[in-house]
Amino acid sequence: MKTHKYLTVAAISMVIAIALGAMGAHYLKETLELPDDKLDSWKTGVLYQVIHSLSIFIVILLATTFKIDKVGAVIKLFFLGMLLFSGSIYLLTLNYVWQIDALKLLGPITPIGGLLYISGWVLLFFGLKKVA
């Protein structure tokens, strides 16, 4: 397992999530005056990114304590889920201001990111089940 690489990715993802959370709370709300439903979407993207960034740290801790199968695959699924789920939400929210027609195509990408999150958790479940 590439522990240092995964920890680095998780830490960078957490920095980005916190920065985007602050951006949503201040810039998007006060400067761009986005409606509440758009801000709620942004917050959802940030929340899921934070949860899965922390989850990568936890998965690595579990992997060092227990011999869990497919840890690298779980982490990759979480990371791809962050890119597709949270990333598409960020772009769709900003598109409220930008009005770029091509970005509307990102709508179907969000649930794919959600499925990647779910797949990572299912894979982790089966990896932990072998340990028990």
Break the chain into its structural domains and give their ranges. 3-131
The pLDDT tens digits for 39-92 are 999 999 999 999 999 999 999 998 988 888 899 999 999 999 999 999 999 999
Is-contact 132 101, C-beta < 8 A? no
What integer pLDDT is reported at residue 2 of this predicted model? 86
Q: Across the chain, what does the average pLDDT equal?
A: 93
21-38 core/surface letters (b: 16 or more CB in 10 A; e: else): bebbeeebbeeeebeeeb
pTM as predicted: 0.93
